[in-house]
Amino acid sequence: MDNSPSVLDPPEQVWHTRWNRRLAGQIAVLLLANVLADTVIVTPMLVLPQILGHFHTDQAAWISSSAMLAGAMLAPLFGKSADIHGKRRMLVVALLVACAGGLICLLAPTLWLFVLGRLVQGAAVAGVFLTVAIVRDLCTPRVAMTAVGAVTTGAGVLSVVVNVSVEQLVAQSGFRVVFLVSASLAVIAVVLVRSLVPEPATRTAGRVDIAGAVLFGGGVTALLAYISFVPDLGWSGPGALALLGAGVAALAGWFRTARRVPEPVIDVRNLGRPLVLTLLVVVLGTGAVQCMDQLLSVIAQVSPDQRLGYGFDARGSLSLLFGIPAIGIMAGGLISGWVAARFDPSAALAAGVVTGTVGAVGMFSGASSFHGAIAFAVLLNLCLGTLLVSGFNMAAVLAPPERQGVTASLVTVMSATGSVVMSFVGAAVLAATDVVVDGTVVNSATGVHGYIGVSVGVFAVAVVLAFFLVARRRQF
């Protein structure tokens, strides 16, 4: 008996063949779902020092990256479930789960309950690729290229308004208001998605590999915990080695499972070289970009009067520091969609990582200048928008219709994993180079510049891989 997945007989699908009012309305609704992801990932960076102070901890990486980590772990489950049960249905589920996470963070009395809430909020990250999959099911391929750019990166403009408003609310009500706003947006998005966005017709028969997802997620989490706690446990301490061994064993078990089960959560057997190169560029490039948000959140509130060799005291202007560069995400997404529709997504991907490399190098000077930080952050966000949209478009070009959901989820897995790994590595670099000034432990200039140097090195590798991908695509 043939147990391979098959495409279910769907009702007739009516595609958008051009931009129109109805498509614009649907894009706007899906865009709101992605604004929610922005309030989960970026907006808490505005209040990261307040959160660290409230819970008396220095575990910035866990607070800033736990939602992204959970998003990476949940994405394959949501992707496979979306292909089987419906993309709109799973988007609604993701939004409701993210709402619950926001409420946990709002009420959490302890740090680790707060981190649990951040992990639950990570479902919003999985929602991003679901909006992409829905768009590709509602539009013809040519229209979808630019529509994907609009729905994934248009949140950059709206986030400026949201972050300015949230910063003012935080000044009046404290940092927890960030999570009240996030939960409220999730409820609004659920109502609008159910009312205005149709359920795409394409479905696939099959089942979800929950065991594989648990092994993959547990393995990555254990390795990140190893990186995070090395400054306290030591590289070869018993606790650190236990985390390292557990992570390696879980990932090895996942890999063996993925090669044996008929429908693994991540099908390593069907990853062609172009898709592998695409995913590597995405994981390296997005990680190198997004870890800068964590760094900027820390150094932006350091006064130049402290003479640490970095810092520009942007308190009161944090919404501008994070909001204005976010416009670059939208610009990068729209430009890369245009390039992909006329040439190839690989060309946009290569241009994106080159732009990001310039932005990362510029951060050596931007670490001490508010205006410089904004300018180079715009380039980094331009790169991020390009990478996300080009990654989704490349995955869509390389995947059949019945596997769009799970393939798009791989892009989310890679972007989230890259962000989390780089954030933990950067936090470890900062922790290892702390200095004591006037009896207070602070980050050193060596640590800050080393953090930026790691990002530049990762970008350099991504550039090489991106040009390999372009060369391979030109052969066909």
Categorize the per-residue pLDDT at 5 as very low, low, confident or very high, splitting at 50, 70 and 90.
very low
Tens of pLDDT, residues 72-89 = 777 778 877 887 888 889
Amino acid at residue number 436 = V
Tens of pLDDT, residues 457-475 = 999 999 999 999 998 887 7
Closest CA to 128 of 409, 355, 362, 433: 409
Bridge partners (DSSP) listed for residue 204:
7
Say which range, 25-34, 56-65, 448-457, has the weakest mean pLDDT.
56-65
Query: HSE (CB half, 13 Å, CA atoms) of 34?
Result: 29
Mean pLDDT of 254-272: 76
Q: Are 296 and 304 in contact (CB under 8 A)?
A: no
Share of the chain above pLDDT 70, in %: 87
Categorize the per-residue pLDDT at 450 as very low, low, confident or very high, splitting at 50, 70 and 90.
very high
pLDDT score recorded for residue 39: 83
CA 452 to chain centre: 19
Mean pLDDT of 94-121: 92
Q: Are 210 and 68 in contact (CB under 8 A)?
A: no
165: Cβ contacts below 8 Å, ≥ 6 apart: none
Pairwise pLDDT comparison (227 vs 192), residue with the higher score: 192
Closest CA to 393 of 33, 42, 150, 206: 150
Cα(473)–Cα(316) distance, integer angstroms: 47
Q: DSSP letters along 98-115, please? A: HHHHHHHHHH--SHHHHH
Length of the chain measured in residues: 476
225: Cβ contacts below 8 Å, ≥ 6 apart: 243, 247
